[in-house]
Structure formats: structure tokens, C-alpha cells
Chains A and B, each alone.
Chain A
Amino acid sequence: MPRGLTRLTYVDLFLWAFRIGIVALVVVGSVATLVAGRYTGQQWLDFVEFGLAQGGIYALIALGYTMVYGVLNMINFAHGEVFMSGAFTAYFVAAPLGASGFLGRHLLAGLLLVLFVSVATSTTVAVLVERIAYRPLRRAPRLVPLITAIGASFFLQYTFRGLYGAGIHSYPDIAALSGTWRIGGIPILRTQAIVLLASVVMMFVLYTIVMRTKIGKAMRAVAEDRDTAALMGVNVDQVIVFTFALGGAMAGAAGILYALVFKQVHFFMGFVPGIKAFTAAVLGGIGNVPGAMLGGLFLGIVESVGPALFLDGLGIRAPYQLRDVVAFTMLLIMLIFRPSGILGERLATKKA
């Protein structure tokens, strides 16, 4: 007799019933949807494409959460606002460039300039938040920096509201990026393709920095044991600043990709993507860099494909209203089956 069965409690029974129930719902729903044949193969591919593009943006933001957690064991809830600060600030460069036609004539140079402004702003904000709000509290109980992070989040939102106004702004349309490309006979929206490509490149660069460079090695050392790393001659403060800067830069890049697809920016835009990216980081295993990438892409695909695949077949009307329910149920299932996330909780090296 397996050892586990002898100690089966009501809680275990409930959890197993819950797992089986959800899996059954997913299977029944998916089969019913596929049998009904409402969507064409092309439409399924579209769902996946939209999910991957959205997921790439989530992943880039999630990297900031996960690296800071790996190094400091704290959730930087102001990270969504770091994302907002870059995209919102870069709008004021992108709008005149778009209006003067510069973006149309020199697409690459224009985009790189906008990207640079966004990355620079986000990096600066992330580093300032670390220096002003978090560093004085580094030895405080864990709850203290968490609450401070929420405070910093509000502070940033309303600072940028004060700076740029409460209304919305929209990035200019770029003619060269509208329409589709045919890749292998499949039409793919140009912006989505660029976003996906750019986020994969960015994640690769980040992974290389963490795994192959000296400062990356120092980051991993601090993540494993801060005090020992300090004794070995690692400058802990410098590593932490670098971690925030790297996370901020990724968030700034994500801001521009977001703006390419969705255009609208306003002072509150960071909140929802921030929460979603945090979910993605937990889904992949918080503290784990490849986990955050995987979690982001997984969350994007589930949000895009899930309502149509799982809920349509169950006869639920307007399934996309339940997009967040699907996403967070997936998170719940993941946490029940694998409490440490898809790839487990670690920053490149295993924790004890």
C-alpha cells in the first residue's frame, strides 16, 4: 500500500476532486469545441499567434519580478509602474517623430530612439525606487518592503499623472508595420511577429547576461546566499542595483512592444500588465529566469486560446468575459499540482 494513502485527509480528497473536476471540464470542453468545428485551422493559429505576442510582453515584465525576487526575496509590486513610466515617457518622443513623418522615413532609427528613451526612463525609475524606497529597508521584516512596494506603486502612478496628465495618449500608427506578412503561407500580423521576435531576442540576451557574464555570476551568488557572497568579495549593493536596472530595462522594452501593438498609454496602464506578469512569474516558478519566460508565454496562450477552447464547448456564452477566470484557474491548478511553479523556484542555481 502506498504510504500516502494511509494518511488521506478530507483536504486531500477535496483537492483531488478539484483537480479531477477541472481537468475533466477542460477535456470535455476542448473535445466538444473541436467536435463542433466552429473555428478553422487558420483561426486556431491566429489565437496562438495573439497569445504568443501578448505572452512575450508578459514575459519581459515577469523577468523583472522574478530577478528581484531571486536576489532579494521580495515582490517588487511597483514593477508594473516601471513598465508604465517608460512607455508613457517615450510617447512624448514617438508622437512628434510620427507627426513629422520621421518614423515613416527612418523606421529603424526612429524605433530605436523611442526604445532608448523608454528603456532609459524605466531603468532610471527602477534604480531610484531601489535606492530610495527599498535599500533603507533591506534588513526589515519581509512585510515591510512589500507594503513599501505597493506605496511606491501608487506614488509612481500619481507622479506620472501629475507630470503627463490624467487623459490617454496614443502612439502614432506606423504604416510599415500594419498589415500581414506571409510566413510559410500563413498570414501573420506584422506587429505581432515583431513583438514576438523582439521579446525572444531580449530574453536570450538577458539569459546570456545572467548565465555567461561575471556580473550574472555575481547575481546568482547573491541569490543563493547574500552574506556568503559578500564574504567572497561580491559587492552586494552593486549587484542589487544591477538587478533592478536589468529588470527596468526589460520593462522599458516591453513598454515599447506593448505600445506597438496596443497604442494607448495612460498613467494607470501598468497595473493590469503588472498583475498578469506577476502571475506569469509565479506560474513559471518565481525566482527562475527561464520560468518567467515560459510562464509569460504560457499565460498569454491560455488567455487567448483558453476561453475559446475550454469554455466554448461547455456552452458558455461570451467566454472571453471569463478570460481572467481561465488564466487564474490555470495558476491555481499549477500551484496545486506543482506548488513551486513550472520550472521550480530558483535563480539559475538550486536553493537549499
Chain B
Amino acid sequence: MKRSKMLATLALCAAIGLGVYLASPVPAATMAPTDPIGVITIGPGQPITIAWWLVVSGADGTLGTDSRRGIEIAIDDKHGMLLGHPIKLVGEDSGCNPEGGTTAATKVAANTDVVVAIGSSCSSEAVPGAPILWKAGIATVSPSNTAPKLTDPNRGPDYDGYLRTAHNDLIQGKVGATFVRTQLKNVKTAATIHDGSPYAQGLAAAFADNFTKQGGKIVAQEAVGRDDTDMHPVLTRIASTKPDLIYFPIFVAAGGFITRQAKEISGLANVTLMGADGLLTPDFLKAAGDSAIGMYQSSPDLTPDAMGADYSKVFIPKYKAKYGELPIAGFHAHAYDAANVVFLAITKVAKSDGGTLYIGRKALRDALFATKGYHGLTGIITCNQYGDCADPHIAVYQIVSSDPASWDVGKNPKKIYPVGKKM
């Protein structure tokens, strides 16, 4: 009884399928491109779905929120339309940790409408998340992952669908070390602190390498937990090695604790503090308070020296008009560029057929990697075979006021390096 019912259902399905096949206009059968990992079909008037997976809550929420705004402005600039189809933006909070990255990527991957993804924010999310997306045939472009290992030549086929418009920290670490060695004459020794995340670990190592190469001495390489609050003990340990500078390229919560507590440790009252792009947000001023004043941070250069006229004259006013404040982290422009690179690649590979759009997933991935000489906000974007697309300009800033309302990258924090020239 049951079996015969099933057979009947199957037969019915086959009949309907055949009917649809025969009824559909002949060109569709020939127009629909074939693709080794699948084709997305978007019917007339249906939206092109693009997903973000960024951190938009918690201590690092500004990092991803800022990037999401960059994407939204890119969509506004297209008036919400691409190839005659509306652009639909969906998203998942990725939490700036491996668990959140896995969850967000799994949710995005489960949505078969998603053409391509933009994210993640933190490298720790991308390490487990990017392979999940790529298994589902979704390429992803990150606006702010900077860990060197994500675009390492040995990164493996799991990461074949992963690109980024953010710089590689091998460059940021070098600029940071060069700044300290050439501009801070009284700094001879340094200690580094990472939090076990791929971002912090990679950047701390890159800084230490370059600092040593340029004649400095690394006296301590410490690590803390991401959720640690009491940094006094580890700072006391560092104090026993008497460094001139502490370099901690970590995130807002732990970075705030270290900044506040460092000055309370006997022996560290005059130590110079330096962080990196994970701390470039007004939330860090909230977290660290007055103790942040005088601290150095390396980050993407967002001043007119590096960004070109369009950024300050067109993009920033749009940002301010739409969100009522100046950018709240360092990677909105990279996200804007990531979105445009994605739009360009879709335009290149999409086959249109009387209102129906066909996008091959492998073809789209190849088109993204083939991006060459695109003039974006952050510079000229050209992707290499391992997914590094950035035109990196790194600056060093110094925090001059702890008032979050005074936040204006370039003024507070004030750009102090490189001096008056393009990198």
C-alpha cells in the first residue's frame, strides 16, 4: 500500500517535471550555463541575495557594524539594483570568535539563495567559517580579516573561495615595527601580548620579527585569554623584564583592561603602549578611559593622503548623513570596496535570459579572483591567487582624547606616521 503510494507520487513528480521541461521555452535550456559547483537561478524581479557575516554585538560590535554600513552605502550607490534585479542584503552576527563564525557561516550556507558573502570581521571567525561557506559553493570577501595565514600559499583547498580587501598583517606588523624603530628613539626593548586568536598571534609575531630585524629587542612574548579581565598578574610578569614598549594587537575588551591596568603596575608607569586595528574604535576609548591618551595604534590609513578625494568628499558625507556619526572603526571603506568587487564579478559572469539571471558559483569565484586594477576607495584592488586583494596603506595613530564624541580618525586618533608621504 505504502510502496504503491510512493510510486504514484514519484510518477506524478516525473510527469510534472517533464511537463515543466517541455513547457519551458527552448532557449532557457541552452542559455542556462553549466557550472561545476552549481548555478544560482534568479527569476524575473527576484532579488540577488548577498549575505554579510560580521560581528555586530558585544565589545567588538563596532568593527562589524562599521563594515556593514560600508556595504549598505555601496548598495545605495547602485540604487539597490544590479542587472535589473533588486539587491537583497541578509546577515548573521559572527561574534568575533570561532564558535560565532561557525554558526554564522553555517546559517549563511544553509540559505541557497545566497550568491556570495561578505565577511568575516575577525580572522578567528574566518578560519572555521570560510571552509563551511565554500563547501556550499559560496565565495566570501572579507573586509577586515588580516591574519597572514588566511591567504598563505599553504592555506589549502578549503579556502579556495576566500578573498579579502583588508591588508595582510605581515605588512601591518612591519609598518608598526618600523615606526617604533625610526620614530620612538628611546624605545629599545618591547614586550608583545596576544590573545590566542589568529589575528593577534599573527600580528604580534610579525611585529616581533620586524622589531628584532631592525635592531630592537623583544624581552617578553606573553598571551592572555580573550575573556580575561584581571591583567595585573601578566603585566607584573612583563614588568619583571622591564620593556620600554608593550605591543598588544588584540580586541577591545581585553585591550581596554590592559591599557587601564598597565599604568597601575609598579615598574610600568612610563611604558609606551601600542595596539593595532582591532582597537581603532570609539568603543576602545570607552573601555580604556583616560589611560588610552598617548597610546599608539597602527591601522589602515584613512586620511586623504592615502584614500583619494572620493573618500573624504563623497563617501564620508554619505556615511554621516545616513548614520549620524563619523565611521566607528577602520574597515568601512574596505567593505565598500568588497561590495563593489562583488557587484563587478556578478555583472561579469551573470547570464541573463529575458529577466531570468543565471550565476555559476565557480565562475563567480574565478571572476572574484580575477579582479584586477579596480579603482576602489582604499586604492587599486588586484587579487592574487591566494585571495589577497588589498592595496595596503598603513598609518600609525596616537590617541589625543579619551572622549568618544571627539572620535575622528586622523584627528583623534591623530595620524603621526608615515609623515607627509604616501606609503
Contacts and interface: CB of A to CB of B under 8 A. Distances in A.
Contacts of B289: 170, 173, 263
B58 interface: yes
B223 A170 contact: no
B290 A304 contact: no
B237 A308 contact: yes
Contacts of B288: 170
Nearest to A307: B233
A307 B234 CA distance: 9
A161 B57 contact: yes
Contacts of B240: 38-40, 43
Contact of A320 (B237, B257, B286, B287): B237
Interface centre among B62, B223, B236 (most CB of A within 10 A): B236
A276 B170 CA distance: 37
B56 to A, nearest CB: 7
B70 interface: no
Interface string A171-182: 001000010000
A124 interface: no
Given A46-B236, A46-B266, A321-B223, A54 B230 contact: yes
A186 to B, nearest CB: 11
A277 to B, nearest CB: 13
A346 interface: no
Given A38-B240, A317-B221, A168 B286 contact: yes
Nearest to A171: B289
Contacts of A271: 227
A258 B230 CA distance: 10
Contacts of A170: 256, 286-289
B239 interface: yes
A309 to B, nearest CB: 10
Contacts of A39: 236-237, 240
B410 interface: no
A320 B232 contact: no
Contacts, number: 109
Given A304-B233, A323-B225, A263 B264 contact: no
Contacts of A273: 229
Contacts of A319: 237
A268 B100 CA distance: 14
B287 A168 contact: yes
A308 B237 CA distance: 7
B222 interface: yes
A267 B46 CA distance: 39
B256 A320 contact: no
B63 to A, nearest CB: 11
A46 B240 CA distance: 12
A38 B232 CA distance: 17
Contacts of A189: 264
B230 A303 contact: yes
A38 B242 CA distance: 12
Nearest to B230: A54
B253 interface: yes
Interface in B196-247: 196, 221-225, 227-230, 232-234, 236-237, 239-240
Interface in A311-352: 312, 317-321, 323-324
B1 to A, nearest CB: 42
B233 A266 contact: no
A235 interface: no
A129 to B, nearest CB: 23
B233 A168 contact: no
A264 B256 contact: yes
A92 interface: no
A47 interface: yes
A189 B227 CA distance: 23
A42 interface: yes
A50 B221 contact: no
Given A42-B266, A166-B56, A318-B223, A304 B230 contact: yes
A51 interface: yes
A168 to B, nearest CB: 5
B260 interface: yes
Contacts of B57: 161, 166
Contacts of B290: 173
B58 A166 contact: yes
B190 to A, nearest CB: 15
A152 B237 CA distance: 39
Contacts of B222: 318, 320-321
B380 interface: no
Interface of B: 56-59, 61-62, 196, 221-225, 227-230, 232-234, 236-237, 239-240, 252-253, 256-257, 260, 264-266, 283, 286-290
14 contacts: A40-B240, A43-B240, A54-B230, A166-B61, A167-B61, A168-B252, A170-B289, A258-B229, A264-B253, A303-B233, A304-B233, A305-B233, A318-B223, A320-B234
Interface of A: 38-40, 42-43, 46-47, 50-51, 54, 161, 166-170, 173, 178, 187, 189, 258, 261-264, 266, 268, 271-273, 303-305, 307-308, 312, 317-321, 323-324
Given A169-B286, A320-B228, 17 more contacts: A38-B240, A39-B240, A47-B233, A47-B236, A50-B233, A161-B57, A166-B61, A168-B252, A189-B264, A262-B230, A262-B257, A264-B257, A273-B229, A318-B223, A320-B222, A320-B223, A323-B224
